[in-house]
């Protein structure tokens, strides 16, 4: 990807993260990026095409900086789930609770009005759930989760809870909301494990 294309995507992402996709115009993106209209349309045929590029960029960033760091090691599976939550918490702490989840924002804004974006974002959340389910399956394979526990359902619950916690944190502008939410999520997972493991962090 060219530096100019990356620059346009980054500028548009910043604007849309705070202002939304529909309320951000191409002219605003041009002004923010300092790129001329000709250059913009060289890389993107439309605002819609830019939107798909933003989703892909956010997915790649999340995969590298959150999923990769949390799950790309040889730690115990439950510790990896803790790391997943802790990395997200730290990212929002650094942002001072501003903006919320970029993909979550797009999902709320566009899922009812743009089927293409809805399907793309749905796939992203399903991929996150699958990655978490794979980690939780390891815990079950070790005999630490009961037979009645479904890793896929628990993973979906975690993804939904993370997104809900981020939304409440954005509204209240209080990182303590997300901190407390994630502590409860860790406790919730360990309710299925019993007393054979302890809560980290």
pLDDT of residue 130: 95
Q: At what angle do helices 151-172 and 102-110 cross, to 10 degrees?
A: 90
Give the per-residue pLDDT at 145: 87
pLDDT along the chain (201 residues), means of 10: 88 92 95 94 95 93 92 92 96 90 90 92 93 94 87 96 95 96 94 58 48
109 Cβ contact list (under 8 Å, min separation 6) = 20, 21, 22
What domains are there in the chain, each with its CATH number?
1-45 (1.10.10.60), 47-196 (1.10.357.10)
CA atoms of 35 and 81, how far apart (whole Å): 41
The pLDDT score that the predictor gives to residue 125 is 93
Q: What is the pLDDT of residue 194?
A: 60
């Amino acid at each position: 990807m060219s530096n100019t294309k990356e620059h346009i995507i980054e500028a548009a992402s910043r604007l849309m993260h705070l202002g939304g996709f529909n309320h951000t115009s191409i002219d605003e993106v041009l002004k923010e990026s300092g790129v001329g209209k000709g250059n913009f349309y060289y890389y993107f045929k439309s605002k819609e095409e830019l939107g798909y590029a933003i989703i892909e960029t956010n997915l790649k960033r999340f995969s590298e900086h959150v999923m990769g760091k949390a799950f790309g090691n040889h730690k115990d599976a439950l510790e990896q789930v803790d790391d997943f939550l802790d990395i997200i918490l730290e990212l929002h702490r650094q942002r001072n609770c501003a903006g919320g989840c970029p993909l979550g924002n797009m999902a709320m804004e566009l899922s009812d009005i743009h089927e293409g974006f809805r399907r793309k974002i749905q796939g992203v959340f399903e991929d996150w759930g699958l990655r978490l389910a794979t980690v939780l399956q390891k815990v079950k394979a070790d005999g630490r989760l009961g037979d009645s526990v479904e890793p896929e359902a628990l993973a979906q619950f975690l993804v939904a809870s993370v997104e809900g916690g981020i939304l409440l944190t954005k509204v209240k502008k209080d990182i303590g909301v997300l901190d407390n939410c994630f502590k409860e999520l860790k406790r919730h997972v360990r309710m299925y494990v019993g007393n054979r493991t302890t809560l980290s962090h």
